A and B are shown apart, each in its own frame.
Chain A
Amino acid sequence: MSTPLLAPGTTAPDFTLHATPDQTLSLSELQGRRVVLVFYPADFSPVCGDELALYNQLLPEFHRVGAELVGISVDGAWCHRAFAEQRNLHFTLLSDFEPKGAVARLYGAYREHEGVCERALYVIDEGGIVRWSYRSPVGVNPGADGLLEALEALPARSASGSAA
């Protein structure tokens, strides 16, 4: 039923999605930085809320290892805005809304029957290469331990400002 995630070593497919109702973000704009893509099924569902709340709380840790965190679901940009405001989220949520799930499909992270994203994590390096991916059972919050270990396993970065 589930399609495979992109394997480590694959070039992460570029995409452009709405980050707010009037702004878009392309993956290529983040080139030169490490990116954590968090595919999740839905805004406001309890498990996603916990998962994203945990990552939100850990933003300083992600920044410490030089990573930008980006969430992706099929919810619309207005829904994302309400969700981010309610949960005090400090990272970008992208809306894989039209055509629905197109980016999630590119990343092997779409649940065709349910019409929502899988609960999947990607670590993409500075050069836009997938370095780690993980799919969690949809009802299980994957936590952050594997993600942080994957980020820390990346080779040290060459000169860059923000890392400690």
Chain B
Amino acid sequence: MSAHLVLPVSARDHALGPADAPVTLVKYGDYECPHCARAHPVVRQLRAHLGDRLRFVFRNFPLTEIHRHAEHAAEAAEAVAALAGEDAFWAMHDRIYEHQGEGLGDHALAAHAAALGVDGDAVLREIRGETHLPRIREDFMSGVRSGVNGTPTFYVNGARFDDDWSDVHAFARALEAAAAPSR
């Protein structure tokens, strides 16, 4: 089975780090998934470790049948991006994962947006209008076609990372190896 990213990273994506970084790490995640929340600080450590050698991309993979707030959470983060830009998106992304355990109902999502200086009511309007659902579905189906088999699923330079992501040292070594190809 192909376990490669079928939708290349492009300007459509939310990305942190230089576009010409030697390593691109893509995470397919669900905001209500506890494993994804555990992976969040792992990614932060990887970014700190690799610095400008790493570009990190997040794509939505909400499993709405088991996580009933996951889709609205994804829509809220996308709404914040649309209303206030990429920096605000990442702040919202961090905030949702860091506060996941406190619940992700619409009221909480609006409050998270407001705490970042974004109009919570505007975010809720975009959720109700399903403004960002097409993009979230595109993220989701690109993941399905790329062999996402649960959340989180990571891709390192387009290849699915099948090892244990929770071992941050091993993960960092894998990224180091990808950053320094034989030359």
Residues of chain A touching chain B, judged by Cβ–Cβ distance below 8 Å, are 47, 50-51, 53-54, 56-58, 61, 87-90, 134, 140-146, 148
Contacts and interface: CB of A to CB of B under 8 A. Distances in A.
A141 B149 contact: yes
Given A61-B144, A140-B162, A143-B3, A54 B149 contact: yes
Contacts, number: 55
A54 B63 contact: yes
Interface string B2-20: 1100000000000000000
Count chain B CB atoms within 10 A of each CB in A53, A134, A148 and give the residue with the most.
A53
A148 B144 contact: yes
A112 to B, nearest CB: 26
B144 A145 contact: yes
A143 B63 contact: no
A88 B2 CA distance: 28
Contacts of A89: 65
A2 B25 CA distance: 35
Nearest to B68: A88
Contacts of B48: none
A56 B65 contact: yes
B2 A145 contact: yes
A50 B64 contact: no
Interface string B111-153: 0000000000000000000000000000000001111111100
A87 B66 contact: yes
Given A53-B66, A54-B63, A88-B65, A142 B149 contact: yes
Interface residues of B, number: 16
B66 A142 contact: no
Interface in B130-183: 144-151, 162
B149 A51 contact: yes
Nearest to A134: B1
29 contacts: A50-B149, A50-B150, A51-B149, A53-B63, A53-B65, A53-B66, A54-B63, A54-B150, A57-B63, A57-B65, A58-B144, A61-B144, A87-B66, A88-B65, A88-B66, A89-B65, A140-B162, A143-B3, A143-B149, A144-B147, A144-B149, A145-B1, A145-B3, A145-B144, A145-B145, A145-B147, A146-B2, A146-B147, A148-B145
Given A143-B1, A143-B3, A145-B1, A87 B65 contact: yes
A97 B149 CA distance: 27
Count chain B CB atoms within 10 A of each CB in A61, A89, A145 and give the residue with the most.
A145
Nearest to A141: B149
Contacts of B65: 53, 56-57, 87-90
B150 A142 contact: no
Contacts of A56: 65
A57 B149 contact: no
Nearest to B151: A50
B63 A145 contact: no
A47 B148 CA distance: 13
Count chain B CB atoms within 10 A of each CB in A54, A88, A141 and give the residue with the most.
A54
